[in-house]
Amino acid sequence: RYKRMRGFNVIHPMGWDAFGMPAENAAIKEGIHPAKWTYENIAYMKKQIDRMGLSYDWDREVTTCSPDYYKWNQWFFLKMYEKGLAYRKSSFVNWCPSCMTVLANEQVIDSGCWRCDTAVIKKELEQWFFRITHYAEDLLNACDELKGWPEKVVLMQKNWIGKSEGLEADFKVYGMDEKIKIFTTRADTLFGATFVCLAPTHPLSEKLAADKEALKKVKERYGKEDEKIGLFTGRYAVNPANDEKIPIYIANFVLMEYGTGAIMSVPAHDQRDFEFAKKYGLPIKVVVIPEQQPNPPLPPFAKGGCGEISNSELEAALEDDGALIDSGSFTGLKSADAKVSIAEFVEGKGLGKRAINYKFRDWGISRQRYWGTPIPIIYCEKCGVVPVPEDELPVILPEDVKFTGTGGSPLADSKKFVNTSCPKCNGKARRETDTMDTFVDSSWYFIGYCFGKGRIDFSSSLSSLNSQLGYWMPVDQYIGGVEHAVLHLLYSRFFTRVIKDLGIINSPEPFTNLLTQGMVCKETLKCPEHGWLFPEDVKDERCVKCEETVDRGRVEKMSKSKKNVIDPDHLINKYGADTSRLFSLFAAPPERDLEWSDQGVEGAYRFLNRIWGIVYKNRKSLCVTHNDLKNKNLLQITDYASRLLRKTHQTIKRVTNDIEREYHFNTAIAALMELVNDLSSFDPKAEDDWETLKFSIETLLLLLSLFSPHISEELWESMGSKKSILEQGWPSWDENIAKEEEIELVIQINGKVKAKITIPAGLSDDEVRKKAIDEPKIQEIIGKKALKKVFIVKGKLVNIVI
């Protein structure tokens, strides 16, 4: 609304991220098809949105579960497959036993499922991946160009991408024509490597492990951090730094998805390796010591640099940089210098090279669920993996599927869907039965809005697409929670790069400015008999169902599962949409969490009623009053009117600046409340007074229309206006009128308030300094004492240091 009133051409659309687990779980629980459940909820929510007066452009509405939309998910998949950015491989993946589906690394939070918190396990499956790592360097470097994003989000993305520079070294397997490639950022500790660990899924694990049953047990605990389990292979590797033979273990904590799937283990200088070495009685060799003696001091054996120490001599790994000991010709070097020198040494022997590694992995998109986009791939015994031809898109979800929640992909139950013919040889073939991760749906929808009328078509000519999409992209202002920093926001940056490389858009970045909004929070209510309760289920601190005393829990994010939610319909029916909107915007800055308060809602309701009362009290006179203030200055109207006029111009300035300054609607509304206070006490007598009152009320309604549009429109019309308030421009202020005549100056001595005086606005710093020092109360305190310094905060305070 604000930007439209400022003359901008604005897209403010709405869409529905409609695929995913909730709909499918509802189908299992309620025996209803996900599509029916989804579209009924969309209709219900759309009705509530309309009642709240949200001015969305419904001509651009998108729904991700519509074939017209997910056709383009499949189209992008095929384009990425052509360019080698979509591929299939067998790998151990994150598996949620509750949701019975794969999770991307970004969807595992503190070892649990991002949606249901169930502990995630590792499972080996054939999966489809998007090669997001192809853009790793670009995604990382471009983080510094995201000037309109919160620093914490940019930092989270940088850390998630996780670039590290180090040494990639080859440990030859003794007695075999094999080598184990490892990556380390601590080449300075290479002489301290006392064993090598492989991931259970490393290509050499099966080959080296003599005890296959023991290997199977390690695989069962793969990725589990609670207990470190290892299996000695009976084989040894040769340390490229000193040619020492060190044992090769297979360990459950080493992941194939990170680095090379193998690590050199330096227990003296890595805590995880230290704990493993303690458990299995492996050597611990100190090769880096602090440049200054630590507290408590190192054991004499370690400090002396005499090689291996016993398991009881160190209590923890020494992980910091320092000076090298027991490292051949590199002894005495500092860690920073040793990292370079040892890397050069290994490179010179032809046993390694300096390399760059990234922490984040390719995006696994396969999901063993029904309610998602079918992956457009066909498997033919003769032709292998065959992409579905573009002219056969979309591949539509089948209807003859049973929702049991017993695991496996539901699409596999539909013979009509699975059994098909090969596009190449026309022989018998079968379709892929996994669906895409629903984060694919939300990775490009904002570009879909740019087409208008919901008619998305990326197959148009590139010149046409460039013209149509280039007008709007990138998004000027995006709003999204910080919880999406390494999920949706990172995936969207990946997708826009892919789409740019297809020649469709010109910008590699999706969003110029990002606002990460806070959450709406409310206290929880719990009955010992009936569990979580809605607010309306509680009366006089008791459950209305069983009259048990209700436990009032902590204030936390509103969620349907804990029932600490407010039904918008209930609010609108009781207070109206404008009250609900006003309180939500006034209660907290948008980037902070908002604690819901029923008393706060009541306060917003009273405030709007005050405005209604002011207008209707003066309505008849205002309807015949002309607003001719544009041709007058403050000297041409009464002093009484000039004070209200000044306040009105100050309010325009404050509201405008607060909105422009990171959308601080709460302080903008506070400014409106101050203006309403002045209007409440204003009693017009002269014609100038009536003209000023009309100007002030009209200005108030224009400013208020952003937050409470319905009452503003109603009152605007009641004052005789012929055109809708929606057709009005944003009011402007006159700096000369808005300027304060006088200000209150706080005077401090050594940081403590000692006096307050009123001075003319606009004085120079020297004039302000003199008035503060000459103030009698201040003179009494400082007397003849020397002034060390005088600090001036313009228009607010003076702090005198004595």
d(CA 740, CA 523): 43
Whether residue 98 is predicted with pLDDT greater than 90 in this model: the reply is no
Enumerate the β-bridge partners of residue 435: 367, 374
- Lowest mean pLDDT across 282-296, 481-495, 580-594: 282-296
Q: Count of CB atoms within 10 A of residue 623's CB? A: 12
Contacts 24+ apart (CB under 8 A), 266-269: 266/186, 266/189, 266/190, 266/192, 266/193, 266/194, 267/194, 267/317, 268/189, 268/192, 268/302, 268/309, 268/314, 268/317, 268/318, 269/186, 269/189, 269/192, 269/317, 269/318, 269/319
d(CA 189, CA 286): 9
Per the document, the length of the chain is 802
Cβ(692)–Cβ(629) under 8 Å? Answer: yes
Whether residue 662 is predicted with pLDDT greater than 60 in this model: the reply is yes
- Lowest mean pLDDT across 136-140, 367-371, 442-446: 367-371
Cβ(748)–Cβ(797) under 8 Å? Answer: yes
DSSP conformation letters of 86-154: EEEEEEEEEEETTTTEEE-GGGEETTEETTT-PBPEEEEEEEEEE-GGGGHHHHHHGGGG-TBS-HHHH
Q: pLDDT-based confidence at 366, cuts 50/70/90? A: very high
Quick one: tokens of 166? 């180090």
> Quick check: helix, strand or coil at residue 454?
coil
Q: What is the pLDDT of residue 92?
A: 78
User: Which residues neighbour 408 within 8 Å (Cβ) at sequence distance 6 or greater?
Assistant: 100, 368
Whether residue 629 is predicted with pLDDT greater than 70 in this model: the reply is no
Whether residue 303 is predicted with pLDDT greater than 50 in this model: the reply is no
Cβ(437)–Cβ(363) under 8 Å? Answer: yes
Enumerate the β-bridge partners of residue 744: 758
User: Which residues neighbour 766 within 8 Å (Cβ) at sequence distance 6 or greater?
Assistant: none
Instruction: Please give the single-letter amino acid code of residue 381.
Output: E
Q: What is the pLDDT of residue 572?
A: 94
Q: What is the pLDDT of residue 135?
A: 98
Cβ(407)–Cβ(433) under 8 Å? Answer: no
Residues above pLDDT 70, as percent of the chain: 95
> Quick check: helix, strand or coil at residue 288?
strand
Choose among 56, 128, 132: nearest CA to 493. 132
Top-confidence residue, 529 or 65: 65
Whether residue 586 is predicted with pLDDT greater than 50 in this model: the reply is yes
Whether residue 533 is predicted with pLDDT greater than 60 in this model: the reply is yes
Q: Which residue matches tokens 């290994």?
A: 346
Residues above pLDDT 90, as percent of the chain: 70
User: Which residues neighbour 313 within 8 Å (Cβ) at sequence distance 6 or greater?
Assistant: 299, 301, 302
Q: pLDDT-based confidence at 631, cuts 50/70/90? A: low
3-state DSSP percent of the chain in helix, strand and coil, to 5: 40, 20, 40
User: Which residues neighbour 776 within 8 Å (Cβ) at sequence distance 6 or greater?
Assistant: none
Q: What is the pLDDT of residue 305?
A: 41
Distances in whole angstroms, Cα of residue 649 to Cα of each of 86, 283, 308, 388, 654: 58, 77, 78, 63, 9
DSSP conformation letters of 747-782: EEETTEEEEEEEEETT--HHHHHHHHHHSHHHHHHH
Q: What is the pLDDT of residue 437?
A: 95
For residue range 774-786, list pLDDT tens digits in order.
999 999 999 888 8
d(CA 42, CA 578): 23
Instruction: Please give the single-letter amino acid code of residue 797.
Output: L
Rounded to 5 degrees, what angle do the CA atoms 39, 43, 44 make? 115
d(CA 611, CA 614): 5
Whether residue 527 is predicted with pLDDT greater than 60 in this model: the reply is yes
d(CA 672, CA 131): 52
Whether residue 451 is predicted with pLDDT greater than 60 in this model: the reply is yes
Whether residue 192 is predicted with pLDDT greater than 90 in this model: the reply is yes
For residue range 589-614, list pLDDT tens digits in order.
888 888 888 899 999 999 999 999 99
Q: Which residue matches tokens 């040769």?
A: 238
For residue range 244-262, list pLDDT tens digits in order.
999 999 999 998 878 899 9
Q: Which residue matches tokens 């197959």?
A: 459
* Mean pLDDT, range 610-638, rounded to an integer: 76
For residue range 390-420, list pLDDT tens digits in order.
999 999 999 998 887 666 789 999 999 999 9
Q: Which domains does the chain have, with CATH numbers?
A: 4-131+365-459 (3.40.50.620), 163-358 (3.90.740.10), 519-565 (no CATH), 598-738 (1.10.730.10), 742-801 (3.10.20.590)
d(CA 74, CA 62): 16
* Mean pLDDT, range 153-170, rounded to an integer: 96
> Quick check: helix, strand or coil at residue 82?
helix
Cβ(400)–Cβ(361) under 8 Å? Answer: no
- Lowest mean pLDDT across 335-344, 470-479, 633-642: 633-642
Mean pLDDT of the chain: 91
Choose among 669, 692, 689, 684: nearest CA to 611. 669
* Mean pLDDT, range 116-128, rounded to an integer: 85
Tell me the CA end-to-end span of the chain in Å, nearest whole number: 52
Q: What is the pLDDT of residue 443?
A: 98
d(CA 702, CA 713): 9
- Lowest mean pLDDT across 93-97, 269-273, 385-389, 703-707: 93-97
Q: Does the bond joining 510 to the residue before it have cis omega, within 30 degrees of 0?
A: no
Q: pLDDT-based confidence at 281, cuts 50/70/90? A: very high
For residue range 721-764, list pLDDT tens digits in order.
889 999 999 999 999 888 877 788 999 999 999 999 988 877 88
d(CA 705, CA 711): 8
* Mean pLDDT, range 470-487, rounded to an integer: 92
Enumerate the β-bridge partners of residue 197: 249, 263
Q: What is the pLDDT of residue 454?
A: 61
Q: What is the pLDDT of residue 296?
A: 57
